[in-house]
Amino acid sequence: MSIKDQKQITGYILSFFLFVALLNSGYFFMATLKLSPGKWLAFNACSLAIIVYLVCFVMYRITKIDWLLAFPLLPLYYYGTMGLFIMPWTGANLFAQVTHILITLNVLWILFVLLKEQRFSGLGKGCLAGILVFVPVFAIVQTYTQLHMSEFLLLMQRM
């Protein structure tokens, strides 16, 4: 099996695990906590980053446009990798940390693919587009979350 085939298979496997993590998150927030999809994505912004990544991953596989793979890097890194250092490693947060590890593995895979194939232009364009789109999204999500944190904490206490 060639290195290119191994990279592709690795990408599919990592994406599949992220998809499973997304389903788990959706079930927890919408079925268990009875939140709307909008509140789920606000209170668990990792899921929003995963959705963007999975859409971009599929579009990249279809079109082979490099910047699509780099576009979700900022939200994946911000909400996923940084979550490893911000959230505690105890109790129910362990499930979230597994998702953060999966997100980080996907970030590393994206960087490996783009840098190994010397797709610097696609990496730069995707990251720039991601910054322009997601920095305002971060501000909206974090503002909403902080304004409604008491509601979320109350729901978590009822569990």
Q: How far apart are alpha carbons 109 and 87 in whole angstroms? A: 23
| CA 60 from centroid of its chain's CA atoms | 16
* Angle value at C-alpha 111, between 118 and 83, nearest 5 degrees: 165
| Residues whose CB is less than 8 angstroms from the CB of residue 144 and which lie 6 or more positions away in sequence, other chains included | 42
CA 48 to CA 52: how far, in whole Å? 6
Instruction: Output the pLDDT for position 58.
Output: 97
pLDDT band at 109 (very low <50, low <70, confident <90, very high): very high
pLDDT in tens, 50-100: 999 999 999 999 999 999 999 999 999 999 999 999 999 988 788 899 999
pLDDT above 90: residue 7? no
Q: In which band, very low, low, confident or very high, does the pLDDT at 27 lie, cut at 50, 70 and 90? A: very high
Question: Ramachandran region of residue 70, left (φ > 0), alpha (ψ -120 to 50) or beta?
Answer: alpha
3-class secondary structure, 35: coil
